[in-house]
Amino acid sequence: MGKKENPLLTYYNREERFAQLMNGWLFRGKPYLKAEDIGEADRRMEGKSRKSREYRGRYRDLFKRLKHVMIRLYIGTELMEYVDYAMPLRIMDSDTLSYLHQKKAVSKRHLEQKDLEKDEYLSRFSKKDKLLPVITLVLYCGEKPWDGAVHLHEMLDLQGVPEELREYVEDYSIHILDIRRTADERLREFPPEVCFLLMCIKYAEDEEALLRLRELSGCSDISEDTMETIKEYLETPEFLEYRDTVEGGKINMASGFRRLLEEKRREGREEGIEWAKQVFKMSREGVPGKQIAEKLDVSEEQVRKILE
């Protein structure tokens, strides 16, 4: 089966949504960036080795330029994400390649203009040349907590290295937002709709929390693109049936969540009743509990509780 494209990639590829995510993540909620501040970064400056291109099969990235910084955002390609235990090394590699490709472009320009002498000529880089900073972020939505390294030092065997030498072993830190383990207070620093979406992911398996999402996020009226992303991420096509459009074309999902969950609970109760009927029927026919469990693909303990 092929990999599912994470709907968050499409959502955050929009300049407005990318700016909102960065405002919450990097600026702790300050409205520093606007959609017009975001542009596509030159992919030639991205720096992709053959190995890192293969890696894109598991993690896709958005590569944006904002003002005088380039930002790479990694998002898992599958809805069930995995922890990459080599992530600090991978990010260090891609960041280094980004800088090397920038330097290569600068050197090419100097070669064409023939404007360098002496040491600068040998370096193919002048004292005044500057590269754009690169920030790499990882948006992790997996059910399993991120228990991988977030510093290069965590991947190194430093046990036998004298304390005096360790300061000379350069470290490299990475920046991960583990949505399901991030405190609600932190998520509320994001703009309302982004906060609502992130909390939907965080509480995807918690029905009670979903019913309180308006209270938790401070937002219940969302735009069509946010609603579509939630629908695709949670894999609930029936989402479209449980929404109320309010003034301005926004969508109120508070009552929608309640009706959707009530419907699912009702269906669950009906399935449970039907399942119990099958257990009683087979038991009356003399079918042993073990065989009933095998036929219905449940545990013997569940069958025993029904028959008690």
Residue 68 class from Cβ within 10 Å (0-12 exposed, 13-18 middle, 19+ buried)? exposed
pLDDT of residue 290: 80
Nearest-angstrom CA–CA distance, 68 and 66: 6
pLDDT of residue 218: 83
pLDDT of residue 26: 95
pLDDT of residue 35: 93
> Could you tell me the mean pLDDT of each successive run of 10 residues in the chain, 308 residues long?
65 94 95 92 60 53 87 72 88 92 94 92 94 93 91 95 94 94 95 92 83 80 85 67 53 57 54 66 78 74 70
Question: What six digits make up the tokens of 264?
Answer: 């699912």
Write down the pTM of the prediction. 0.74
pLDDT of residue 3: 46
pLDDT of residue 2: 38
Yes or no: say if 87 and 151 are a contact pair by the CB < 8 Å rule. Answer: no
Adjacent-strand bridge partners of 40: 64
pLDDT of residue 55: 46
pLDDT of residue 252: 62
Q: What angle do CA 124, 72, 11 make, to 5 degrees?
A: 145
**Sheet with 69-76, edge to edge strand ranges:** 38-40, 59-66, 69-76, 134-140, 175-178
Nearest-angstrom CA–CA distance, 129 and 107: 10
Question: What six digits make up the tokens of 9?
Answer: 């990639």
pLDDT of residue 181: 94
pLDDT of residue 249: 55
Nearest-angstrom CA–CA distance, 87 and 283: 54
